[in-house]
């Protein structure tokens, strides 16, 4: 698969990094730390697969019935906190993807990883891994953890017509003004997920060969 091999090669080179992530970050990120020493390690999986000849990435929407959860109702990549039994951060990403959406770890080709991203609201340092599956996954949402699964076409993120801003309101009365987000099939993809997506999009854009294969 030419596209996958080109992406694998691109991920081995110099990454766009935090500069690319900041393109989809709220302004408070400019003055905040990129990471802290005692951050809790976590991992996510950004999985590429083809459906009807179109490249997709699965996203999950978290349940919206837990106001105490700082990520209540948000759209995210499959993933979660690193556990000691995982042994590696990559294994954590694969385990969480299996638990949350039924992606089979043994079938995933891990192509590389992106720049770790610190999440101030939860104290996680998230390590994004990029993978490939050569078939359409048999998605099953994890009860109580995943409200729905979104099969997002990669082209939707590259289409600038899906880039918007809005004020984000939270249950504790806090508001973030003018937050950048992707509108993906009516879902708001913002925050850390949008920041990590911004970096992978820059990886794609920097290679004409990759963009021509999308």
pLDDT at 185: 92
* Both tokens assigned to 58: 């699965």
Looking at residue 173, the DSSP 8-state letter turns out to be S
The pTM of the full predicted model, rounded to 2 decimals, is: 0.94
d(CA 20, CA 162): 18
Task: Provide the pLDDT for residue 169.
Answer: 81
Q: What does the pLDDT profile of the chain (214 residues) look like in tens digits?
A: 899 999 999 999 999 999 999 999 988 776 655 667 789 999 999 999 999 999 999 999 998 776 556 556 899 999 999 999 999 999 999 999 999 999 999 999 999 999 999 998 889 999 999 999 999 999 999 999 999 999 999 999 999 999 999 998 876 677 889 999 999 999 999 999 999 999 999 999 987 667 777 7
Q: Cα dihedral sign for 198, 103, 106, 214? A: negative
Question: What sign results for the dihedral spanned by CA atoms 10, 7, 150, 96?
Answer: negative
Residue 75's nearest CA partner among 30, 102, 44, 40 is 44
Q: Which domains does the chain have, with CATH numbers?
A: 2-158+191-213 (3.90.79.10)
φ, ψ of residue 22 to 5 degrees: the values are -65, -20
Distance CA 129, CA 120 (A): 20
Which residues make beta-bridge pairs with 153?
56
Residue 106 CA to residue 114 CA, distance in Å, equals 21
Tell me, what's the pLDDT at 6? 94
Q: Which residues pair with 56 in a beta bridge?
A: 49, 153
List the one residue out of 47, 56, 75, 57 whose CA is nearest residue 187.
75
């Amino acid at each position: 698969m030419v596209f996958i091999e080109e992406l694998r090669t691109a991920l081995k080179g110099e990454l766009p990094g935090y500069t690319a992530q900041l393109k989809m970050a709220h302004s408070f990120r400019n003055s905040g730390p990129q990471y802290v020493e005692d951050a809790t390690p976590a991992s996510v999986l950004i999985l590429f697969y083809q459906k009807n000849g179109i490249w997709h990435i699965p996203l999950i929407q978290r349940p919206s019935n837990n106001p105490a959860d700082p990520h209540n109702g948000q759209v995210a990549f499959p993933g979660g906190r690193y556990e000691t039994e995982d042994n590696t951060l990559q294994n954590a990403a694969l385990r969480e993807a299996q638990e949350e959406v039924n992606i089979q770890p043994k079938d995933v080709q891990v192509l590389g990883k992106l720049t770790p991203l610190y999440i101030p609201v939860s104290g996680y340092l998230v390590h994004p891994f990029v993978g490939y599956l050569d078939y359409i996954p048999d998605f099953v949402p994890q009860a109580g953890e995943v409200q729905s699964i979104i099969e997002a076409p990669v082209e939707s993120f590259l289409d600038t017509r899906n880039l918007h801003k809005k004020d984000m309101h939270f249950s504790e009365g806090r508001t973030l003004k003018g937050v950048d987000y992707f509108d993906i099939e009516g879902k708001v993809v913002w925050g850390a997920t949008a920041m990590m997506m911004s970096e992978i999009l820059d990886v794609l854009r920097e290679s004409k060969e990759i963009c021509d294969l999308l």
